[in-house]
Amino acid sequence: MKIAVLSTNKNLYSTQRLVEAALKRGHECVVIDHRQCYVGIKQGEPSIHYKGQDISNIDAIIPRIGASVTFYGSAIVRQFEIMGVVSTNASQAITRSRDKLRCMQILSGAGIGMPITGFARQTKDVDDLIKMVGGAPLVIKLLEGTQGIGVVLAETRKAASSVIEAFYGLGNNILIQEYIKESRGSDIRVLIVDGRVVGAMKRTAKEGEFRSNLHRGGSAVIIKLTKLERETALKAAAELGLTVCGVDMLQSDRGPLVLEVNSSPGLEGIEKATGKDIALTIIEFLEKKHMAKAQPKERKKKSKVGQTL
């Protein structure tokens, strides 16, 4: 296959590992900055160009779409889909998971455990919103934030009210969530590929920090999931339609609680914690999807030959 990794930085660990794994399996692999792609929309002839070149000969893509370019990146993935190119994740699933509010609403409707979450737009609703999530301490999150950026722990009601009003004053959309104190600054990242758990790690925040993201100095160790944790992660991925993702959960007194589902999970932390070649697993999944797409065409050709004999 000719595989394209859609990434804005070819030097990122995850991007490099995916390219290495693809080459190891005998495929041609290129890194394409999706921000520099542009599409042609014509009846029966969709096309994609990159730096002046038609790249319609791509067989499969691995989207690594950053939060800041979700809209444009998803549009590029969708154009590839229209052209019959297989992808590790569907464009609609990417947009579902990237919108934190929409994601939580979908998971809530599916009965999946999560921290109590509130969403509003006006400052007059702040007091009731704080009450809705169980009062302070509570967590305030920017809808567009990633890697722990835009996440604030408000330890008192007064502090929570001030931070929420400040975010509203700046025109930001935010989520307010209950603080799960028994998680003690740790969470679980579960890596899922094709409906299977292929790796899991427990991340712990550095001292004085409540965010456990590795980008914020947290540490990670391999973990054995409970049956309920495994089932919860798999159900969350399935409800969003993601076939490659990282599910972040908190361990609480009432069971696993899903924080977020990431459609472009980083591979460095999970590969180093588990010692597994996750990148290779993703490439093998892409091979499977491409083969499944090709088989119906082969059967159709044989059927037509049979009709002419």
- Per residue in 20-79, pLDDT (tens digit) is 999 999 999 999 999 999 999 999 899 999 999 999 999 999 999 988 899 999 999 999
Query: Are residues 175 and 229 part of one domain?
Result: no
Query: How distant, in Å, are the alpha carbons of 19, 33, 66, 165 from that of 7?
Result: 11, 5, 8, 36
Query: How distant, in Å, are the alpha carbons of 146, 272, 286 from that of 10?
Result: 20, 20, 20
Query: Are residues 138 and 93 part of one domain?
Result: no
Is this prediction's pTM over 0.85?
A: yes
Q: At which of 128, 148, 179 does a domain end?
A: 179
In a domain, 13, yes or no: yes
Give the range of the structural domain holding residue 239, as residue numbers without chain letter. 183-292
In a domain, 249, yes or no: yes
- Residue 215 scores a pLDDT above 60: no
- Per residue in 147-196, pLDDT (tens digit) is 557 788 888 999 988 888 888 888 888 889 999 988 888 899 999 999 99
Percent of the chain with pLDDT over 90: 68
What pLDDT shows up at residue 208? 55
In the sheet with 186-193, reading across from the earlier edge strand, the strands are 219-222, 196-204, 186-193, 244-252, 255-262
Total domains, the chain:
3
